[in-house]
Amino acid sequence: MIERVEGDVTSPLGFLAAGVHCGIKPHRRDLALIVSEVPASAAGLFTTNRVKAAPVRYCEEVIRAGMAQAIVVNSGNANACTGPQGLRDAYEMAELTARSLGIPRSLVLVCSTGVIGTPLPMDALRRGIPLAARALERDGKAAAEAILTTDAFPKVAAARVHLPDGVVTVGGMAKGAGMIHPQLATTLAFLTTDAALSSGRLREALERAADASFNRITVDGDTSTNDSLIALANGRSGRSCEEGEAFWAFTEALTWVAQELAKMVVRDGEGAERLVRVEVTGAQDDSEARRAAYAVATSLLVKTMLHGAEPNWGRVLAAVGRAGVEMDEASTRIWFGPVEVVRDGVGNKEVLEAAAEALRQPEVTIRVDLGVGSGAWHVWTCDLGETYVRINGSYIT
């Protein structure tokens, strides 16, 4: 049984975290540390953007061993497009963390987020990493705040898995509000558990969780240079989730936590007012349903329509029509919330006010039935308004 609980990355046994201000940002916390009391199985999924930040390249190398004990994360600077110096700085961040914690550098993972193309202010990190190590506590709230950039709020979640021989816990935190689109992982997200699993089984569970969460969200269609999704399993509960029903129960809990974090990312889309679930059914197969769903979810016209709560169903139908999938226009149906606005390819003017009211809700569902098969897919997106333009029109100035 899965029990949803209040918590974060420190909810599982044997995990500590810290969030401090080291000087990358003028005033806000900008350095986070997540530490397991013992070496943990590790798995990670990273951006498929061909332009990869130095910490991503560092993590891809280190995580091959399948073990880690600490994750150090700075915000305010992405350490991306910084050449050989950027990679040296990522290694130094790991070395500073290792020395501060008294563990091998090979057990330290490094993540960064913020402005692209600016070298890290290493003097700030040389001061800050030992400070973060001294501030470790069994509370992840400060760490969740320290990884934020344009986010409006911290993103944390936790769940317990009740097994026949005991309980294991999954916790997580994430950041992200812009540059959000699926490519293996989206934004920075960290999942922890006190379950015992090998790194291979942890990766299998993580891939399943990502496919049902972070790989189903989009804010603006842009995949970051720094996207990283990392999971640590330290086994401190004494319960194995390596095989059988325990593995599937653990995977379900990991997926739930990942989905909660992913939906928070979309809900926090820069300037967004609505969390929107786009469901496509009746497609030729699931792959075509996925293409159609993303055509709707990434359409600027649909997203601005959502911002204004205008029931302009023609924008949805046009987006599906250009998705390059099989569809029967004469059989297509569209719903805004519970309101059917299109039946057999023709709009219903009598329900537009009810449809507009459905679109004014903080959580909205757009459902499209293509009428040609049994394929289905859903993704989460958000509306797009003036605030997004204002934030990204002056991001580095």
For residues 291 and 323, is the Cβ–Cβ distance under 8 A? yes
Residue 49: per-residue pLDDT: 82
* Residue 11: strand, helix, or coil: coil
**Average pLDDT, stretch 113-118?**
90
Q: How confident is the model at residue 184 (pLDDT cuts 50, 70, 90)?
A: very low
More confident position, 10 or 179:
10
Residues 307 and 218 in one domain: no
Residues 291 and 262 in one domain: no
Residues 46 and 17 in one domain: yes
Q: Enter the tokens of residue 382.
A: 């958000």
Average pLDDT, the chain: 91
Domain CATH number, residue 133: 3.60.70.12
Q: Enter the tokens of residue 132.
A: 């973060």
Q: Tell me the per-residue pLDDT of 330-348, one tens digit each, with 9 for 90 and over.
A: 999 999 999 999 999 999 9
For residues 2 and 163, is the Cβ–Cβ distance under 8 A? no
Q: Tell me the per-residue pLDDT of 221-277, one tens digit each, with 9 for 90 and over.
A: 556 788 899 999 999 999 999 999 999 999 999 999 999 999 888 876 666 778 899
Residue 181: per-residue pLDDT: 54
Q: Tell me the per-residue pLDDT of 316-333, one tens digit each, with 9 for 90 and over.
A: 999 999 999 999 999 999
What whole-number distance in Å separates Cα of residue 112 and Cα of residue 187?
A: 10
Going by C-beta distance under 8 Å and a sequence separation of 6 or more, which residues neighbour residue 244? Answer: none
Residue 356: per-residue pLDDT: 95
Catalytic residue ranges:
186
CA angle 350, 356, 357 (to 5 degrees): 110
Reply yes or no on whether the pLDDT at 395 is more than 60: no
CA angle 234, 47, 147 (to 5 degrees): 60
Q: Which of 206, 159, 215 is nearest to 187 (CA)?
A: 215
For residues 61 and 110, is the Cβ–Cβ distance under 8 A? no
| C-alpha atoms less than 13 angstroms from C-alpha of 53 in its C-beta half-sphere | 31
Residue type, 209: A
Residues 101 and 229 in one domain: yes
Residue type, 134: R
Q: How confident is the model at residue 152 (pLDDT cuts 50, 70, 90)?
A: confident
Q: Tell me the per-residue pLDDT of 39-62, one tens digit each, with 9 for 90 and over.
A: 999 999 998 888 899 999 999 999
Q: Tell me the per-residue pLDDT of 275-287, one tens digit each, with 9 for 90 and over.
A: 899 999 999 999 9
What whole-number distance in Å separates Cα of residue 302 and Cα of residue 306?
A: 6
Going by C-beta distance under 8 Å and a sequence separation of 6 or more, which residues neighbour residue 394? Answer: none
* Concatenated DSSP letters of 116-168: TT----HHHHHHHHHHHHHT-BS--HHHHHHT-SS-SS-EEEEEEEEETTEEE
Measured between alpha carbons, how far is residue 36 from residues 167, 198, 385 in Å? 18, 16, 41
Q: Enter the tokens of residue 103.
A: 């563990």
Count of CB atoms situated within 10 Å of the CB of 48? 12
- Strand 155-163 relative to strand 2-5, pairing: antiparallel
Of 246, 267, 288, at which residue does a domain stop? 267
Ranges of beta strands (E only) in the chain are 2-5, 15-20, 31-46, 67-77, 108-115, 155-163, 166-175, 188-193, 228-233, 275-283, 333-336, 339-343, 346-347, 363-369, 375-382
Residues 79 and 180 in one domain: yes
Residues 149 and 281 in one domain: no
Residues 263 and 279 in one domain: no
Domain CATH number, residue 330: 3.10.20.340
Residue 185: per-residue pLDDT: 45
**Structural domain of residue 55, as residue ranges?**
2-267
Task: Kindly compute the dihedral angle of the four CA atoms of residues 178, 133, 191, 186, in this order, to the nearest 10 degrees.
Answer: 20
What whole-number distance in Å separates Cα of residue 292 and Cα of residue 280?
A: 7
Residues 221 and 292 in one domain: no
Residue 269: per-residue pLDDT: 66
Phi/psi class of residue 12: alpha, beta or left (left: φ > 0; alpha: ψ in -120 to 50)? beta
Residues 205 and 332 in one domain: no
Of 267, 284, 318, at which residue does a domain stop? 267
**Average pLDDT, stretch 357-365?**
94
